[in-house]
């Protein structure tokens, strides 16, 4: 019986270390998303994002049924690079549960032109964002996200 308990304990430790390693890999994969957001004009970060996501990756920010696809998202990053050269998207907390990684992050930036129709006249924003990334076979297949863009616009308007 002692041999059985020892074998069971060793197997449990082995599985725990494999699970911990897989979780670390998944979180590193998700981090590429934030690296791109903070470096939207970087070809290196675009390539890492493309490698970390599936070809049919979707960005889901509402229930309209119109989701942003991977190529559209990469194009949007090029626009963000021009509009907000100092954009910084910093991860504040990252948690994994199964195939889902949830991230609380902080986005800051100073648009050089109007953002969603609001000219900040040199003012910046500092907002909270929440993302839920779904992974399959080590790649992100979809990202659900909520950003406080209303708060950003209030800050840009000087309110």
CATH number of domain containing 124 = 3.10.450.50
Domain count, the chain: 1
Whats the size of the chain, residue-wise?
A: 159
10-residue mean pLDDT series, the chain (159 residues): 62 49 85 97 97 98 95 95 97 98 98 96 98 98 98 97
Report the DSSP beta bridge partners of residue 133: 101, 143
- 73 Cβ contact list (under 8 Å, min separation 6): 57, 59
pLDDT for the residue numbered 13:
52
Token look-up 């910046």 returns: 124
Range of the domain at 14: 2-156
pLDDT for the residue numbered 53:
98
Token look-up 């957001």 returns: 37
> How far lies 69's CA from each of 26, 64, 93, in Å?
21, 14, 25
Could you give the CA distance from residue 144 to residue 131 in angstroms, rounded to a whole number? 6
pLDDT for the residue numbered 17:
45
Phi/psi for 20 (5° steps) reads -65, -40
pTM summary value: 0.84
């Amino acid at each position: 019986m002692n041999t059985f308990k020892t074998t069971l304990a060793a197997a449990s430790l082995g599985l725990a270390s494999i699970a911990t390693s897989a979780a670390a890999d998944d979180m590193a994969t998700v981090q590429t998303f934030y690296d791109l957001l903070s470096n939207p004009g970087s070809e290196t970060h675009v390539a890492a994002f493309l490698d970390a996501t599936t070809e049919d990756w979707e960005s889901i920010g509402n229930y309209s049924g119109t989701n942003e696809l991977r190529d559209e998202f990469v194009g949007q990053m090029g626009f963000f690079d021009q509009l907000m050269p100092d954009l910084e998207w910093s991860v504040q907390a990252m948690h994994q549960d199964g195939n889902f990684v949830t991230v609380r992050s902080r986005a800051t930036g100073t648009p050089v032109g109007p953002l969603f129709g609001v000219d900040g006249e040199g003012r910046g924003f500092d907002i909270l964002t929440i993302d839920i990334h779904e992974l399959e076979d080590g790649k992100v297949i979809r990202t659900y996200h909520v950003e406080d863009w209303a708060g950003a616009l209030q800050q840009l308007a000087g309110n």
